Structure 1
Amino acid sequence: MHPFRKTGRPFLVAAVAALSTIAPIGVTAAHAQVTRVRQGSSTDVSRTTWSGPAYTMNGSGGIVAATMTRAIDAIRGGAGSIDVVVLAGSAAGTPECDAIVALAGVNSCTTLTLTAAADGNDSQVNADIRNAEFVYFAGGDQCRYVAWKGTALEASVESVVAKGGGVGGGSAGLHVNSDIVYDACTASATSATALSNPYDRSLTFTTGMFRWPNYANTINDSHFVTRDRMGRTFAFVARALKDGLVAGGKAYGVGIEEGASLYLDRSGLATLSGPSAYVVLGDHQPEVAAPGQPLSYSNFKVWKLTDGQTYDFANRPGCGYYLRSVTAGVVSADPYSGAPATDCPAPPPPTGGSSHAEAEPNDSRGTANDLSAATYPLTITGDLRSTTDRDYFALTLGSGQTLTANCAVPAAYDADLYLLSSTGSTLTRSVNDGAGADESVTITRTAAGSATYYLDLEAYAGSGADDYSCLVARS
């Protein structure tokens, strides 16, 4: 174990040694053997298609049943069962699998303890991962986890997501699942240290390991409020911008409190279970970020989530945040609470080459306005005159085509946008909070042939005669 950190998992070596299901694998003379503990069925599930991906991002090391259950159900499509692998970097028993095997829809859970970087190339380890439908990184030491970068294990984990499975992690396992990993390979940073010198030796990062769909340009942080880590996340975001670790000039810190968990669905919508989580956006270069100097950064944008609230990582909102600045290493006000901005600038209304004005009744798929013969780009206008109003539009998409809809919503109401399959299943959605909050969705058809899709814009709160305007593009 790294000398600067303590593991986030209970130390249960004696209990593990007593389990008859332990099977040593990958033994070498250079380091301790890999251990494998399988619980549940001894036979993997055999199935060709899965309905994920789905992700769980936990603020502390333990399994959160609410989000784990949602991930299991999403991946298996509500039927059958899945196999789970837990990856750990130190011998500490099987607490994650103990919790997971008790959940409905789990066929087996295998704990793999890897104590050296070379273990990432172990054949049995990689076979177990590739045969699983969900991989969970346990708490512990993320520096051990980033050592698996470039091994076969990295590609094996990515294959689980690619086939429609899922990934999760808690504490150290949370860190390794962001686009930029705070790896803590030299020391564990505190907020005070990071704000006073964002280039302190304790601020080290690993990039290029995992990049999950819809989760680009992120830096995760754990145990967030309990260990007062907002300040160091501010420094992480500033460093990502200053050092060019992100694309597009924006970096997002994602801080999750102990006992809390973000569930991310396949469309990129994150829903919080538990106390709190925060998304921190830095969208410009820091005023001061230099070795040996305190950080100065004006107007970090901070979104606070509480139990049940959502954040759309696929269509990241432009409103609903509060602002916090850092001047010479000092945060302007309480970083964990603030009044969300209400004066966010409205985007210009969309424009397109052709137009369609909604015609009622179009409150169901059966009565949807037929736009299959429309030319693109297409501007759709309409209104939501009651709190139960739903406007459906039928469109056609061919193989390889991408459909994108960006809707400017008036300040009179809060509307949500859904993109549905021909059978009415939700493929993706945009549910930004607040009256006047704009919505957007996109999807690419990968199947052969063409199919009908439905745009569904519906009133979430409020109503009125003011028009929404949706720019729909097909390419």
Structure 2
Amino acid sequence: MNRFILFALYTWLVNLAITVSCVQNDEKISNGRSAASIGLVGNVNDVNTTTVGGTVLAGGGTDVDEIFQWMIKKAGGGDFVVIRASGTDAYNSYIYDLGTIDSVETLLINSRELANDPEVERTLLNAEAVFIAGGDQANYVNFWKNTKVHHALNYLRNTKLIPVGGTSAGCAILGNTYFAALEGTITSIEALDNPYNKYLTLGYNDFLKQPYLSDVVTDSHFANRDRHGRLVTFLARMNKDTGILGRGIGLDEKTAVCIEPSGIGKIYGKGTAYFLHQKGINSTPETCLNGSRLDWYQNQRAVRVYKVQGTDDGTNIFDLKTWAYGTGGHHLYYYV
């Protein structure tokens, strides 16, 4: 009798283990596949879909559903990977529920060791869309620059041609010039008072390469945190340090620009996008020196701005190929 009970108990436990195993490997939820993975929703197996490249710059705050739907469409419903250096896997279910997509996985890459992990690299290279979450861009620079993650991101956008995007800190590193925040953040007042303030740490042409952003620096939480002055200062520094005619994109919270392969940027969301560019080779800052307040007047026409409101369907646009055309907005000038 005791042997029969033991055998029955053993059989029940084996069947239970098989059932649990099947549940854990179900299509809907799975544990991560690399040391950096903090969760995956959807199919655990890799798929290959036809993709179309594109870039998303999001201004932080509440996420804009339409930009993820735009990315999902360009990803051909393939595998979507979110990368970050802090935080949770909250994007997984959110993105998965926005459209037909094979899977969404979050990688928490918070060390250079993980950024050089072959399994992390493999997960990224297999992705059909990648989104860089918010956080602290200094971590992204310190942990990812000159690693497998760095080179995978450039390969994905420029060779594999998939959609790549980022919000807040994730948006900050997508321009060829980027505010690295290696010493912490900086306010507009601090930047204007001294363009070479120790907190104004810029990186030039040594990190991510996105089409149409070669001479561009981005900024998020734009009107919400009064960052107009610091973006103007970024442009002044770009011109002073490298000789280029600086361009900048400032994005309010709940606002994003989705850049098509043609260079047309569609503005989504509830806020405003600002496209700043230096007026010409004769519009250099009058004074841009360490310890001195920025002087960039140029007869009140130092920096030309195209200000455009976002919409739910991305009707309003700006041409990032020419920087000369847009719809739904108007031009103005910034000067200091």
Where on the TM-score scale, by shorter chain, does this alignment land: which range? 0.7 to 0.9
The one-letter amino acid of 1:175's match is: A
Structure 1, unaligned runs of 5 or more: 1-19, 27-33, 327-475
Q: 2:266 maps to which residue?
A: 271
2:251 equivalent to 1:256: yes
Counterparts of 1:235 and 1:136, CA distance in 2: 28
Choose 93-102 or 179-188, whichever is displaced more.
Answer: 93-102
- Could you state the TM-score of these two structures normalised by the residue count of structure 2? 0.82
Q: 2:321 maps to which residue?
A: 314
Q: 1:41 maps to which residue?
A: 43
3-state secondary structure, aligned to 1:297: coil
Shift of 1:149: 1.3
Give the one of 138, 141, 144 matched to 1:143: 138
Map 1:37-436; keep pairs closer than 5 Å. 37-47=39-49, 49-50=50-51, 52-60=52-60, 63-76=63-76, 81-90=77-86, 92-147=87-142, 148-161=144-157, 162-207=159-204, 208-244=206-242, 249-274=244-269, 275-282=271-278, 283=280, 284-298=283-297, 299-307=302-310, 308-317=315-324, 321-326=331-336
Counterparts of 1:313 and 1:94, CA distance in 2: 32
Counterparts of 1:57 and 1:310, CA distance in 2: 14
Shift of 1:98: 2.3
Q: For the Cα contact (< 8 Å) 2:75–2:128, is it kept in 1? A: yes
Q: Which has the higher strand share?
A: 1
**Structure 1 271/23 Cα, relative in aligned 2: closer, same or farther at 3 Å?**
closer
Shift of 1:115: 1.4
3-state secondary structure, aligned to 1:286: coil
**Structure 1 296/195 Cα, relative in aligned 2: closer, same or farther at 3 Å?**
same
Counterparts of 2:38 and 2:45, CA distance in 1: 15
Shift of 1:304: 0.3
Counterparts of 1:24 and 1:184, CA distance in 2: 31
Counterparts of 1:294 and 1:259, CA distance in 2: 32
**Structure 1 62/87 Cα, relative in aligned 2: closer, same or farther at 3 Å?**
farther
Shift of 1:153: 0.9
Counterparts of 1:318 and 1:35, CA distance in 2: 42
- Could you state the TM-score of these two structures normalised by the residue count of structure 1? 0.59
**Structure 1 62/132 Cα, relative in aligned 2: closer, same or farther at 3 Å?**
farther
Q: For the Cα contact (< 8 Å) 2:55–2:210, is it kept in 1? A: no
Identity %: 28
Q: For the Cα contact (< 8 Å) 2:172–2:179, is it kept in 1? A: yes
Counterparts of 1:72 and 1:121, CA distance in 2: 27
Counterparts of 2:74 and 2:43, CA distance in 1: 21
Shift of 1:269: 0.5
Counterparts of 1:309 and 1:115, CA distance in 2: 37
3-state secondary structure, aligned to 1:202: coil
Counterparts of 2:325 and 2:79, CA distance in 1: 38
Q: For the Cα contact (< 8 Å) 1:139–1:170, is it kept in 2? A: yes
3-state secondary structure, aligned to 1:243: helix
What is the CA deviation profile of residues 282-311 of structure 1, one whole-angstrom value per residue up to 9, with x for unaligned ones?
233211010110001122111101023211
Shift of 1:189: 0.4
Shift of 1:23: 3.9
Shift of 1:62: 5.0
CA RMSD, Structure 1 to Structure 2 (Å): 1.9
Counterparts of 1:117 and 1:62, CA distance in 2: 29
Counterparts of 2:33 and 2:127, CA distance in 1: 19
3-state secondary structure, aligned to 1:262: strand
Choose 269-278 or 280-289, whichever is displaced more.
Answer: 280-289
What is the CA deviation profile of residues 153-208 of structure 1, one whole-angstrom value per residue up to 9, with x for unaligned ones?
11211222221211001010010111111011102100000011111011001232
Shift of 1:61: 5.5
Q: For the Cα contact (< 8 Å) 1:215–1:268, is it kept in 2? A: no
Structure 2, unaligned runs of 5 or more: 1-28
The one-letter amino acid of 2:191's match is: A
Shift of 1:21: 4.0
State how many pairs are aligned: 291
